[in-house]
């Protein structure tokens, strides 16, 4: 009994036989476009190229162009960071030296000028000498105070020793223009006195002005009321002006006071005068 061979057996259900495709040789290259030679190693092929994917391999970043390694900040605790030192001083300022010299010598004006100029230049030019400039200004200030004090003392002494009658002419002066220290002549007991001759205190004179004060009453107190106020007040002021004159029998108190008419014009002044009998020379004070 003969059996038909497999090749001659017709396929079931009337289908045509399945064609046999020979397998490609092992060394045959894969179909599709050639791989990109610059693609990073291990990158998966693009979708649709037909190449089989065998799973994602290890990923490696694309190579970067060579560059210097980044600078690393040293960890803390290894000492203070480097600090740039200030530039050295470029010499001593000449104006500072000049300010100190004039400050010592008493050249107040130049000491101030050179001192301020030096402080301005030292900061801009990075120079030394700031201490000398400050010392020059301080000494100039001290000299200024001393000079002002001497001038003030001289003015006060001149006022104490000067009189309006230093010329010795004996010109009459209004009683409203008398000053403390004036030496007078011709003191009288008249009810109203408008002028008195002022003379030099080095000449014989009858009196010396030593004090002045003003009445505070709102209405004219009358002659008796003024005497009650002026007598003790002038005596007390004489003791302050010349203590030795209080016990001098040749010295008495004399004063000028406002009248009713001058009171109405605003006169409130009491002028205390030391009267001498006999006349004397020199000032009562000192």
pTM of the shown model: 0.43
pLDDT at residue 171 greater than cutoff 50: yes
pLDDT of res. 92: 86
Count CB neighbours of 212 within 10 A. 17
C-alpha 151/C-alpha 156 separation (Å) is 9
Q: The dihedral of CA 229, 235, 239, 241: what is its sign?
A: positive
| Bridging pattern class, strands 195-199 and 172-174 | antiparallel
Cβ 189 vs Cβ 254: under 8 Å: no
Amino acid 27: pLDDT: 54
Which DSSP letter does residue 214 get?
A: E
Of residues 56 and 120, more confidently modeled: 120
Lowest mean pLDDT among 88-92, 178-182, 203-207: 88-92
Q: How far apart are the first and last CA of the chain?
A: 182
Whether omega before 278 lies within 30 degrees of 0, making that bond cis, reads yes
The closest alpha carbon to 132, from 164, 96, 102, 79, belongs to 96
Mean pLDDT across the stretch 155-182? 69
**Does pLDDT of 30 surpass 60?**
no
Nearest to 97 by CA among 88, 82, 110: 110
Closest by CA position to 60, among listed 44, 74, 49:
44
Structure-block tokens of residue 44:
């998966």
């Amino acid at each position: 009994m003969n059996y038909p061979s497999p090749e001659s057996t017709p396929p079931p259900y009337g289908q045509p036989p399945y064609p046999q495709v020979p397998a490609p040789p092992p060394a045959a290259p894969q179909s599709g476009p050639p791989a990109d030679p610059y693609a990073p190693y291990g990158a998966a092929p693009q979708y649709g190229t037909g190449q089989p994917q065998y799973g994602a391999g290890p990923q490696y970043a694309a190579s970067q162009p060579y560059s210097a390694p980044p600078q690393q900040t040293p960890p803390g605790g290894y000492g203070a960071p480097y600090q740039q030192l200030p530039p050295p001083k470029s010499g001593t300022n000449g104006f500072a030296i000049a300010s100190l010299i004039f400050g010592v010598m008493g050249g107040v004006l130049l000491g101030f000028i050179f001192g301020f100029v030096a402080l301005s230049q030292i900061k801009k030019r990075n120079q030394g000498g700031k201490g000398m400039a400050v010392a020059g200004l301080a000494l100039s200030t001290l000299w200024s105070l001393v000079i002002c004090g001497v001038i003030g003392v001289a003015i006060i002494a001149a006022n104490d020793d000067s009189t309006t009658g230093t010329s010795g002419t004996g010109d009459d002066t209004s009683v409203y223009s008398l000053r403390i220290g004036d030496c007078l002549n011709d003191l009288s007991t008249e009810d109203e006195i408008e002028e008195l001759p002022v003379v030099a205190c080095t000449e014989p004179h009858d009196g010396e002005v030593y004090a002045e004060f003003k009445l505070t009453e709102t209405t004219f107190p009358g002659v008796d009321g003024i005497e009650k106020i002026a007598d003790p007040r002038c005596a007390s002021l004489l003791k302050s002006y010349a203590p030795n004159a209080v016990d001098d029998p040749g010295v008495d108190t004399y004063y000028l006071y406002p009248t009713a008419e001058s009171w109405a014009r605003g006169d409130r002044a009491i002028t205390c005068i030391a009267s001498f009998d006999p006349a004397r020379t020199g000032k009562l004070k000192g």
